[in-house]
A and B are shown apart, each in its own frame.
Chain A
Amino acid sequence: MTEFKPTILAFCCNWCSYAGADLAGVNRLQMPPNVHVIRVMCSASVKPEYVFKAISQGVDGVLVLGCHIGDCHYLTGNHRTAKRIPVTKKILHDVGIDDRRVRLDWVSAAEGEKFQQVIIEFVAEIKTLGPNPQREVNM
């Protein structure tokens, strides 16, 4: 059996987590190569539809990363994220998709190391969960 190489999508807000990811890069913090970042202006613009779409098309995990509560470049944008994504996870859970495949976290522009840590942890978690069963559905 070949090694499972998860495909992971990460939505990063432009102001904090994308900058945090950049900082991780600048500091050459090494991490697994499974995560593909989509830059959005605010985590609050991440439609749960994207998460559902990705998961049902076989993406193994989805990260939604935003500014810490209180630090949102758009005041309270991420307050909505803080509620939408948990609901998104619950819905996945209700239909039998392990909601650990979706993770919401806050990474500031200064937290390159936090970004690295989130990526390392998440990739490890997805590896223990194994391939997204929806992958086969879509093959």
Chain B
Amino acid sequence: MMVRIGVFICHCGHNIASAVDVEEVVEYAKTLPWVAHAGHNLYSCSEEGLGSIKRSITENKLDRVVVAACTPRTHEPLFRRACEQAGINKYLFEFVNIREHCSWIHAKEPKEATEKAKKLVAMGVAKAALLKPQTESEAGVIPTAVVIGGGISGLVAAASLVEQGIETHLVEQTDRLGGLLCDITTIGPEGRHARTLVKDVVQKLEASPKTHIHRKARVSDVKGFIGSFEVTIEGCDGPTKVPAGAIIVATGTREFAPTGEYGFGEHPQVITQLELERKLAMGEKPKRVVFITCVGSRQPGREYCSRVCCNVTLKNALALSKASPDSRIRVIHRDIMSSGSAAEKLYKETSDSGVRFLRYGLERPPEVVSDGDRVNVIVYDETLDEVVSLDADLVVLAVPMLPPDDSEVTGKLLKVPRDKFGFFLEAHVKLRPVEFATDGVFICGSARWPVNARECIWQGMAAAAKASIPIKEGKVVIQAITAEVDPEKCAACGNCVLACPYEAIEIVDQDGNRAAKVNEAQCKGCGTCVAACHNDAVSQKGFTSGQLGAMIDALVKASLEGSR
């Protein structure tokens, strides 16, 4: 078999070239076995860079490509596509990371960085020589979606899917739809009536025959993978197994209970925002109210800003201030987080309405002292530089939103990660905000991070957009990194069967020869079975023991050469 490898080293502008002597690595690459061409690009990922790689494939009759640049986690698809466009099977491409793993972390050691880049390239070339062309198989997608959570995010996600013609199951733990919006009066800063908003979406949902709403239900099991999940919904009538192509997580958020803080739980006058919302819904109009923000957040232990509490505070402070002309509304805060235009406008309107704002610091938090029917809030006002005492009928604590209690369970069921606070962790904080790293599972609303209703709505729609893509496309392509068994080598010992986390392998009898068999659609390509096999009968496409062994050999060879 002819092996002609092309090696392309990227400057990445200065990102690589400032530490790695790219030309030296190119010259080194030329000395490696199987290398038919070695070159360099200023930006390999630019149209120009990709074009030059494609041209070189044709001109030099290359049959394998190694690019030494940045990380395969972001750029591999790009180069694979370029290979494909130039007529090479995309699995005959190998990526070497000399930026994140070399130039950027050895910025002040150019000589060492260059030597390391050479070794990494040698390892990549060694692997590339043993790569085999692969074909990707396709799996069908069940044209149904499951949305977990019946708060506003989930409702909107489901409504959008249904509107796009997609059969959708909505699973809600309680018997009411709308989540936290059911507990509040109006939504700030727009002032929209919360329950009407919920009602509109629910009506739209219920009008469609494609909607299946499961109230008082929870998801108890999730099997499968993108395109063919099987979601077990435990409802009033027992478990239902729903086949689905995609899943959206919209499990929402809950309010932190600030027990012990500022007399909460001790003085009945000290309540949370949600409790105030209930009072407002019942028509109560307390006149002397002190709001305290950042209770239990933005401090050691729970460092995050919960994003929505300031705006809820402003909205309620303004409502109370407007409700009675003789009201005395005070907001004790650390910073007012009214980002954007509507919120900032609300802030201005609130302060213009006579609501008084006092700023406190974390080192001198306010104190709540009981005074019969009332309470006094004693606070050091940073702006006035004096301690003031504010009497109040009601002290409202703006507390952070927390991930729901069962987010750990949901996370485990769906095999999706959570951050250190328990909020779900999206695939990429910047550019993949509503996706999980797990294909076919999406996230929206406050289960990811506390967001306001408007943000919940657009995130629900965004998750619906993402979920609709595989469903409407009707197929998913399975990356060729799955495990495969050589039945000739297989002793049918079942090590792989036991080790597989997905129960994707079974021992089958084929013409009297017992051997393991991998169900490709179930295989996720982890390679756990590979390490369980003692005879290398199981191997993972693109990560065979031969390929990885060759990388080790190449490293040893390059290092020994270096030390001589």
Contacts and interface: CB of A to CB of B under 8 A. Distances in A.
Interface of A: 5, 7, 9, 14-15, 18-19, 21-22, 24-26, 28-31, 33-34, 36-42, 44-50, 53-54, 57-59, 71-77, 80, 84, 110, 116, 135, 138-139
22 contacts: A5-B562, A5-B563, A7-B556, A7-B559, A15-B437, A22-B73, A25-B104, A33-B105, A39-B72, A42-B527, A44-B528, A45-B530, A50-B548, A50-B549, A73-B415, A73-B526, A74-B501, A74-B502, A75-B501, A77-B501, A80-B532, A135-B563
Contacts of B553: 57
Given A28-B105, A40-B527, A42-B527, A138 B556 contact: yes
The 6 closest A-B pairs by CB, nearest first: A45-B527, A25-B100, A74-B526, A44-B528, A7-B559, A42-B526
Contact of B437 (A9, A42, A73): A73
A33 B545 contact: no
B100 A21 contact: yes
Given A25-B104, A40-B543, A74 B563 contact: no
Nearest to B102: A33
Interface stretch (B108-116, B175-183, B270-278, B348-356): B108-116
A25 B99 contact: yes
A110 B71 CA distance: 16
B131 interface: no
Contacts of B560: 58, 135, 138-139
B210 interface: no
Contacts of B99: 25
Contacts of B531: 44-48, 80, 84
B533 to A, nearest CB: 9
Given A45-B530, A57-B552, A138-B560, A75 B112 contact: no
A54 B275 CA distance: 63
Contacts of A71: 417
A36 B555 contact: yes
Given A25-B99, A80-B532, 4 more contacts: A18-B73, A22-B97, A30-B107, A46-B531
A28 B104 contact: yes
Nearest to A49: B545
Contact of A28 (B72, B107, B109, B120): B107
A77 B549 contact: no
Contact of B123 (A19, A33, A38, A46): A38
A24 B102 CA distance: 10
Nearest to B420: A110
Secondary structure of the B contact surface, majority rule: helix
B543 A41 contact: yes
A37 B73 CA distance: 14
B109 A9 contact: no
A128 B525 CA distance: 38
Contacts of A19: 73
A37 B553 CA distance: 14
Q: Which of A33, A48, A139 has the most CB of B within 10 A?
A: A33
Given A42-B526, A76-B501, A22 B71 contact: yes
Given A41-B481, A53-B552, A77-B501, A47 B100 contact: no
B499 interface: yes
A46 B120 CA distance: 19
B524 interface: yes
Contacts of A59: 552, 555-556, 559
B560 to A, nearest CB: 7
Given A24-B100, A29-B105, A41-B481, A7 B528 contact: no
Contacts of A41: 481, 525-527, 540, 543
A44 B72 contact: no
Contacts of B417: 71
Nearest to B74: A22
B212 interface: no
A130 B451 CA distance: 54
A123 to B, nearest CB: 12
User: Quick one: which of B101, B530, B545 has the most chain A CB within 10 A?
Assistant: B101
A45 B542 CA distance: 12
B325 to A, nearest CB: 51
A21 B73 CA distance: 11
A57 B554 CA distance: 11
A22 B545 CA distance: 24
Interface in B143-183: none
Contact of A38 (B437, B540, B551, B563): B551
Contacts of B501: 72, 74-77
Nearest to A7: B559
Given A37-B97, A53-B549, A57-B556, A74 B543 contact: no
B530 to A, nearest CB: 5
Nearest to A2: B563
Nearest to A34: B116
Contact of A33 (B72, B73, B109, B526): B109
A72 B416 CA distance: 9
Contacts of A57: 552-553, 556
Interface string B390-432: 0000000000000000000000000101010000000000000
Contacts of A30: 105-108
